[in-house]
């Protein structure tokens, strides 16, 4: 199953340069890296990144993550993937721009 991380452009650049990251400020504050499933990603973008341009959507294969990946209850009682550890560049299968348009962020073609 793929899980997704929305990254700001500076976060994506920093991850590519360093090879790993502790995440965005909210991730660091919460002690884990926030991810979303395909069903949750659009709402995550609308709720936490409304009006922000210059974003990227990174896809990771949950089964390839180590035991630092936990499924925990969050928004509306739904289970969200949270990763306790550094996000490594090698975890990412693909990363594509998530441009802001009039109706919100445009997800890549074929995204669920």
Q: Which CATH superfamily is domain 2-99 in?
A: Protein of unknown function DUF952 (3.20.170.20)
* The model's pTM: 0.94
Mean of the per-residue pLDDT values of the chain: 95
Give the start-to-end residue ranges of the domains of the chain. Answer: 2-99
73 DSSP β-pair partners: 79
Q: Is the pLDDT of residue 112 over 80?
A: no
Q: Using alpha carbons, select from 96, 108, 104 the residue that is nearest to residue 58.
A: 96
pLDDT digits (tens, 9 = 90+) for 14-60: 999 999 999 999 999 999 999 999 999 999 999 999 999 999 999 99
- H-state helical runs in the chain: 9-18, 25-30, 38-48
Straight-line distance from the first to the last Cα atom of the chain, in angstroms, rounded to the nearest whole number: 12
Q: What are phi and psi of 27, to 5 degrees?
A: -65, -45
């Amino acid at each position: 199953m793929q899980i997704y991380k929305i990254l700001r452009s500076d976060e994506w650049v920093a991850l590519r340069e360093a090879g790993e990251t502790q995440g965005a400020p909210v991730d660091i504050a919460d002690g884990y890296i926030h991810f979303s499933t395909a069903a949750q990603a659009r709402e995550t973008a609308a709720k936490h990144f409304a009006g922000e341009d210059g974003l990227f959507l990174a896809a990771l294969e949950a089964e390839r993550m180590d035991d630092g990946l936990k499924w925990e209850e969050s928004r509306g009682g739904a289970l969200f993937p949270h990763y306790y550890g550094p996000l490594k560049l090698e975890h990412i299968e693909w990363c594509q721009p998530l441009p802001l348009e009039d109706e919100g962020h445009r997800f890549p073609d074929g995204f669920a």
